[in-house]
Amino acid sequence: MTDLLLTNVRPNAGASTNILIEKGRIAAIGDQARSRAGLKTVDGGNAIAIAPFVEAHVHLDKILWGLPWHSIKVPGTLRAMIDNEVDIRKTLPWSVAERAGNLMRQCVAMGSTHIRSHVDISPGYKLDNLHGVLEAWEGTKHAVDLEIVAFPQLGMLIEPGTVELMEAALDEGATVIGGIDPANIDGDPRGHLDAIFDIAHRKQAKIDIHLHERGELGLFELGLIAERAKALGMQDKIIVSHAFCLGDAPYEELAPIKDMLAEAGIGIISAVPGEIPFPPLFDLAEHGVRCAIASDSLRDTWNPHGNGDMLERCWLLSWRTNCRTDEELIAALDMGTKRGADLLDLKGYGLEPGCDGSLVLIPGENLAQVVVDRPKRSLVVKRGRIVARDGNWVDIDAP
Exposure of 165 in the CB half-sphere (CA atoms within 13 A): 26
Residue type, 59: H
Closest separation in Å from C-beta 248 to Zn ion:
19
Distances in whole angstroms, Cα of residue 123 to Cα of each of 127, 161, 295: 9, 6, 27
Closest separation in Å from C-beta 12 to Zn ion:
30
Tell me whether residue 39 or residue 72 sits nearer to Zn ion (CB atom): 72
- For the window 252-291, what string marks contact with Zn ion as x by the rule CB under 5 A? ----------------------------------------
Tell me whether residue 3 or residue 221 sits nearer to Zn ion (CB atom): 221
Closest separation in Å from C-beta 274 to Zn ion:
15
Closest of 284, 381, 301, 389 to residue 335, by C-alpha:
284
Closest separation in Å from C-beta 88 to Zn ion:
17
Q: Which of residues 323-342 bind Zn ion (CB under 5 A)?
A: none
Alpha helices in the chain (DSSP H): 78-89, 96-109, 128-138, 162-171, 189-203, 215-231, 244-248, 251-264, 281-286, 310-320, 326-335, 338-343, 367-373
Answer for the pair 366, 373: CB distance below 8 angstroms, yes or no. Answer: no
Return d(Cα 98, Cα 252) in angstroms, integer.
48
Q: Is 300 in the site for Zn ion (CB under 5 A)?
A: no
Tell me whether residue 58 or residue 362 sits nearer to Zn ion (CB atom): 58
Comparing every residue's Cβ against Zn ion, the nearest one is 296
Closest separation in Å from C-beta 334 to Zn ion:
22
Binding span for Zn ion by CB under 5 A among 65-73, 79-87, 227-235, 294-302: 294-302
Binding span for Zn ion by CB under 5 A among 105-113, 119-127, 292-300, 377-385: 292-300
Return d(Cα 296, Cα 60) in angstroms, integer.
9
Return d(Cα 40, Cα 176) in angstroms, integer.
38
Return d(Cα 191, Cα 187) in angstroms, integer.
9
- For the window 195-224, what string marks contact with Zn ion as x by the rule CB under 5 A? ------------------------------
Return d(Cα 99, Cα 103) in angstroms, integer.
7
Residue type, 109: A
Answer for the pair 8, 332: CB distance below 8 angstroms, yes or no. Answer: no
Return d(Cα 82, Cα 59) in angstroms, integer.
14
Tell me whether residue 48 or residue 58 sits nearer to Zn ion (CB atom): 58
Tell me whether residue 119 or residue 195 sits nearer to Zn ion (CB atom): 119
Closest separation in Å from C-beta 175 to Zn ion:
17
b or e along 40-56 (b: 16 or more beta carbons within 10 Å of the residue's beta carbon)? bebebeebbbbbbbbbb
- Neighbour tally for 369: CB within 10 Å: 16
Closest separation in Å from C-beta 316 to Zn ion:
16
Binding span for Zn ion by CB under 5 A among 11-19, 63-71, 75-83, 295-303: 295-303
Q: Are strands 385-389 and 379-382 parallel, antiparallel or unpaired?
A: antiparallel
User: Contact with Zn ion (CB under 5 A): which of 120, 167, 186, 296?
Assistant: 296
Closest separation in Å from C-beta 210 to Zn ion:
5
Tell me whether residue 129 or residue 358 sits nearer to Zn ion (CB atom): 129
Tell me whether residue 279 or residue 364 sits nearer to Zn ion (CB atom): 279
Closest separation in Å from C-beta 310 to Zn ion:
15
Tell me whether residue 296 or residue 300 sits nearer to Zn ion (CB atom): 296
Closest separation in Å from C-beta 56 to Zn ion:
11
Return d(Cα 143, Cα 257) in angstroms, integer.
38
Tell me whether residue 145 or residue 296 sits nearer to Zn ion (CB atom): 296
Number of residues that bind Zn ion (CB under 5 A): 1
Q: Which of residues 39-98 bind Zn ion (CB under 5 A)?
A: none
Tell me whether residue 120 or residue 296 sits nearer to Zn ion (CB atom): 296
Q: Which positions touch Zn ion (CB under 5 A)?
A: 296
